[in-house]
Chains A and B, each alone.
Chain A
Amino acid sequence: AQRVTQPEKLLSVFKGAPVELKCNYSYSGSPELFWYVQYSRQRLQLLLRHISRESIKGFTADLNKGETSFHLKKPFAQEEDSAMYYCALSSRGFQKLVFGTGTRLLVSP
């Protein structure tokens, strides 16, 4: 069965501190992993995906197949990063997304 686990409901950091939002997945095949973000009163939007291997808004995420993880990292958090972050998984060639429960990131000044 496909499953995505985000162990932290809330992560609170100060501006300028490093951030790591954890995501672990369970899937027997070759998954595609995504991070979606939802800012206050806005819609869910894609932040990044593992096959792009790019940095968006200073965030990066590396797929670790050995540890089945796809943690989201940023070296220096900004107040505007405060949002709900969802890790999601999809099977290659199929379209449905399986979401984790989300982590609320709160960046304080």
Chain B
Amino acid sequence: EPEVTQTPSHQVTQMGQEVILRCVPISNHLYFYWYRQILGQKVEFLVSFYNNEISEKSEIFDDQFSVERPDGSNFTLKIRSTKLEDSAMYFCASSGKGITSTDTQYFGPGTRLTVL
């Protein structure tokens, strides 16, 4: 069964550094998402991406964040200048058509980002 994959599984970085988290969604899916979960807190939506553009983003997703689908298979989340509070588990997800209802989102295993 196809799965969403994410790399790396754990990323440690210094405050102020740029990080890129990578995801390979399920190949025939059209919608892509990033969520994050700070330790002990709920899973929070960051951004959704469809047809090569952001379709929705949360208040968390400020100018420090960007997403890209550079080559038709990867889906990346970039944080330009990391802060301590960016430390979290970041989940990528993908889903199919979802035109009239919310299609099932399939989640990756997550990347644990630690900002020192």
CA distance A86 to B107 in the complex (A): 13
CA distance A49 to B33 in the complex (A): 19
> Given contacts A96-B33, A96-B45, A101-B42, are A90 and B102 in contact (CB under 8 A)?
yes
Interface residues on B, range: 20 to 34
Asked if B108 is at the interface (CB within 8 A of a chain A CB), the reply is yes
Q: How many contacting A-B pairs (Cβ < 8 A)?
A: 66
> Given contacts A94-B56, A95-B95, are A46 and B102 in contact (CB under 8 A)?
no
Q: Report B56-101 residues with CB < 8 Å from chain A CB.
A: 56, 58, 91, 95, 98-101
Asked if A13 is at the interface (CB within 8 A of a chain B CB), the reply is no
Contacts of A95 in B (CB 8 A): 31, 33, 48, 50, 55-56, 95, 98, 102-103, 105
Interface residues on A, range: 20 to 34
Asked if A92 is at the interface (CB within 8 A of a chain B CB), the reply is yes
Closest to A52 in B: B104
> Given contacts A43-B110, A44-B91, A45-B107, are A92 and B43 in contact (CB under 8 A)?
no
Contact of B43 among A45, A94, A99 (CB under 8 A): A99
Q: Report B23-61 residues with CB < 8 Å from chain A CB.
A: 31, 33, 35, 41-45, 48, 50, 55-56, 58
Closest to A41 in B: B109
> Given contacts A44-B91, A96-B33, are A86 and B43 in contact (CB under 8 A)?
yes
Asked if A83 is at the interface (CB within 8 A of a chain B CB), the reply is no
Contacts of B41 in A (CB 8 A): 101
